[in-house]
Amino acid sequence: MLNEQEKHAFLNGNYGMTQSGDKCKLVLVGETHRDNPYLVIITRGDDWSLQWTDQDLSCVVSLWQDKPEQFDLDRALGGEAFVLEGGNKAFLLKKLKTFKCHDLLGYYESEPDLEIAAAWDYKGNFDGSRRDLDIVGMWREPKPIKAPLRELPKPIYEIPDGAEYLYYLGSGLNQKLLVKSVRAKEHYHSALEHGRYYKSKDDVIQVIEMLTGKRYQE
């Protein structure tokens, strides 16, 4: 679960990671969804899905970090931080001159104000049963919090007077994000109730461009 600082970063544009290890990002905040106000896009390779989640962002377990740089023992002994499998930041204090298996002594940050002593072997394996405390690479400082998301068009929950079509976010055979439409008289009530429709094609284009970072093309 995200702490308050991580939640603030996620709500302001940083990528997150789901419980299944997938990359995710906030799409919009739904004003009428009190229990599940946040719409998140989840990506796995070329596949993607949208999910409404609660105020605690319980589907997001951490901020996303790209694959870390390979662990360097000399740099770690020189005072540089490294990262553990579970995402914790850690430091080495000493390399013992013994023949024991776990000769690397140090500590990891369990919480912002809590440091816990630990030991590892030269392969980075933690001295214990917790594999989330194994060393996976050198620590990379999180990127600065980005500027707040620009105001995006809000989905609709009622059909506008005189509307012939409603527009929504869809995809093609290659999973490319596309603008799709349905006749207002043929819409799905559950989709309207859950904020899946927009009043114009341009509204959906703005959402797609925010998600992809590119100009929309048919």
Interval 31-46: pLDDT, tens:
555 677 777 878 776 6
Write out the two tokens for 32: 């009428």
**Are residues 102 and 54 part of one domain?**
no
| Residue 68 falls inside a structural domain | no
Q: What's the domain count of the chain?
A: 3
Q: Supply the pLDDT for residue 74.
A: 94
* Domain C-terminal end among 98, 121, 138: 138
**Are residues 97 and 53 part of one domain?**
no
Mean pLDDT of 5-32: 81
* Domain C-terminal end among 17, 44, 63: 63
**Are residues 182 and 128 part of one domain?**
no
| Residue 84 falls inside a structural domain | yes
| Residue 153 falls inside a structural domain | no
- Which range of residues forms the domain containing residue 198? 165-212
| Residue 172 falls inside a structural domain | yes
Q: Supply the pLDDT for residue 171.
A: 75
* Domain C-terminal end among 45, 63, 81: 63
| Residue 179 falls inside a structural domain | yes
Q: Supply the pLDDT for residue 57.
A: 87
- What are the residues whose beta carbons fall under 8 Å from the beta carbon of 142, sequence distance 6 or more? 9, 14, 63, 65
| Residue 83 falls inside a structural domain | yes
| Residue 178 falls inside a structural domain | yes
Instruction: Count how many residues are written for the chain.
Output: 218
29 touches 13 (CB < 8 A): no
pLDDT at 28 over 90: no
**Are residues 57 and 77 part of one domain?**
no
What DSSP line would sit under 101-132, residue for residue?
Answer: S--EEEEEEEETTEEEEEEE-TT--BSSS-GG
What's this model's pTM, rounded to 2 decimal places? 0.43
**Are residues 56 and 20 part of one domain?**
yes
| Residue 158 falls inside a structural domain | no
pLDDT at 129 over 60: yes
pLDDT by residue (tens digit) across 64-120? 877 778 999 999 999 999 999 888 899 999 998 876 677 899 999 987 789 999 999
**Are residues 77 and 43 part of one domain?**
no
- For 70, the 3-state DSSP assignment is coil
DSSP assigned state of 64: -
pLDDT by residue (tens digit) across 152-208? 788 888 999 999 999 988 876 666 788 999 999 999 888 888 778 999 999 989 888
165-171 sheet: strands from edge to edge: 177-183, 165-171, 197-198
